[in-house]
Structure 1
Amino acid sequence: MSLNVIDLIKGQLGPALVSQAASQLGESESGISKAIGGMLPAVVGGLANNSDNPGVLDAITNASSSGILGNLMGGASSSPVISTLLTSIFGDKISGIVNAIATYAGISNNSSSSLLNLVTGATVGSIGKYAADNNLDKSGISNLLGEQKGIVSSLLPAGLSLASLNIGDWAKGYKFDNDNDTIRTTASEEPKIEVTRSTTAAGTNPDRNNNEGGGSIWKWLLPLLLLIAAAYFLWKQCDKKQTTTTTTVTDSSASKTDSAATTTPADTSATTTAPVAKTDENIDLNGVMLKGYKGGMEDQMITFLKSGDYKNAADDATLKDKWYDFDHVNFKLGSSTELEAGSQGQLDNLVAILKAFPDAKIKIGGYTDKTGNEASNVKLSKSRAEFIKGALAKAGVGAQVLEAEGYGSKYAKVDAKASDAERAADRKMAVRFAK
């Protein structure tokens, strides 16, 4: 099975970067996330369609040493390499893509343009790092890009298709065929309407000349297909909000209950609470305002401590069932020592909470999804938990951290064959109070 490079890139475009981009660009996190979801397959498709382009191969080869992955918010938006690369793969159609994504995601054109540079930088940087790590030369990179041609169109989110990004004849170069992995570029090809993740498959476009006066079946069929896709998308969104699962797991000496949405990570608690609404606001810590989410980790921990339940807990057995997932502490792909941008803020919040309640003790837990070697997963999750413990110690609250454990995929719930977005719910760091 061919490597899906989009899975590589998603590690660079996680919740922390989405939050940072939303704050910097003045957009909602949902709009930023939606735009990235639409741009990523389009950018990978553009690179795949130019897999033999020397300029593309040079940009990817040099990306590993450029440091672009370490400065996506600043480096990608102003990098002449990224601007040149976008012009090379999309030509004069860049503004059309920016406009289409802005309309689709409900963000400004300026934000859409900045995100296109950011996503392109993350894509080139991730592929370049993979190539360097696996000793791929330009021929190997070209083959890797070529392998993406059969999967790109199927990864576009609901409500967006290659056809919807068509400005003039641009889409003709991006008709990826899932059956034979070839690109249809013949002059006689009529555009194919693609509605992805819909219960209705898109059909091929009939010859327009068969209808007199330019009348076409698409006058009623295209709106119908779009309505079906929109209805399906709305139904799925409602289904996501209503469906929760509760799974009870046991660590080395206690049990842990997670309340998580079926498709996205959710804040963990001991009971079957409803999914937490990610509303950014100030959280009151004894008169000090912490930046966090209403109902998020900090809010729940402070509420619990103020209630007196921790102080009145007789022993660790009465605390073992209540865990809290970090909302924003994320490690870079495969690393146990490098945090993604935006992670430090929540660690600082945890330090502030522990200093405000010096009698409180905690335990750190690390978890992975079901992919990969389990021994490596346990080692990685343990190292990440120890890293957080060490960071808290450096901040002066190390005595309040009793233990740091890594559980690998032992408590993972999502199948290894599920999408990366679905498996993200199992890749987390969590904290609970302890005695």
Structure 2
Amino acid sequence: MSLNIIDLIKGQLGSALVTQAAMQLGESESGISKAIGGLLPAVVGGLANNSDNPAILDAISSAPSQGVLGNLLGFSANDSWVSNLLTSIFGDKLGGLINSIATYAGISNNSSATLLNLVTGATIGSVGKYATDNNLDKSEISNLLNDQKGVVSTLLPTGLSLASLNIGDWDKGYKFDNDNDTIKQTTHEEPKIEVTRSTAEGGTFPDRATTTSDGGSIWKWLLPLLLLIAISYFLWKQCEKKETTTTTSVAGDSLSTINDTAAVQNDTTAMTTARTDEDIDLNGTMLKGYRGGMEDRMITFLKSDGYKNAADDASLKDGWYDFDHVNFKMGSANELEAGSQGQLDNLVAILKAYPDAKIKIGGYTDKTGDEAANVKLSTERAAYIKDWLSKQGLQSQVLGSEGYGSKYATVDASASDSERAIDRKMSVRFAK
């Protein structure tokens, strides 16, 4: 069989499930997507290496009757059925895999464990459905799993290798080194056999790795092909988003954007300039944020004594910091989109590290809709964040909030929704 199992799973791990999982687990969508991208090759490779394991084959055969694909998130929350399978695959390395993915994706170990169950369920369920639809017996299922050894390496996202997943030597039949962008086959001691080419009509070489006429390896052309397949898959899996990194200037609280939006693609092999979460140093404590993002620039300003040396509030009005991730649901002033909580927590940490610093919150909308309603909505959103910060014990540091509606929007109302997204934002500035 030459079917790629990934083709079976595509419909199960799309953006809708990522969004739902992020909301349920309280993680960012980028972190969820990154974790799934790392877990997928580990699970598929583990199943391939256990293609003759009766427990695995029984699980796949019975998956359709258990309705796994009908409720993946519900299934992942109840791991009684899948836990034994994961133990069979990874043994005592299971904890190491969960921890490595959590660190790689910037999520909690509990979320990593839940997503491992989810990915395993999606894989087992998809293969089980395919086997049922095509009347495959266990021997044929075993062959299908074994065939996946040739594609596992194409699934590894940039910056992650099987070795870094702390899963030991379960990939004993084939070793991949993604850090060096090469694929290495395990070598075996074999007697040397001299091979001569048949001169008879239709003569062939033996079916084994050969070298080209210039001495190069067959991987010279195969490796780029595999990498292209990997890139195509991850581009399909992710929804391309537009993130904004803006530095703003304000004259009497009138906000003007200096920098343009930067198109990014989350957690994929970047075809555009990608932005990924990094560790931002807050006096020895590491926060997850973008290099050059809100947290990074606020901390840099505070460390430079810029706030301490500011004479009055007027001297601080030239520095607004746009939230990178804090967004409200469409039309709502009290419901945040999934993934917003992390950056609010970062702001709390920054203010607690600098208790003398005070801030003001600003809210903005695009040019569509009634302006009075826009002002009301942006005002309520800014007030919501102010009140939330006050509940974290920061009443004395949050001096106020204000909504500006579309007053400072720069994109025409007739533009696309994605283009107008730059004007729909929440911002924070230092105040005195």
What TM-score comes out, normalization by structure 2 length?
A: 0.46
Larger of the two Rg values belongs to structure: 2
Return the TM-score normalized by structure 1.
Answer: 0.46
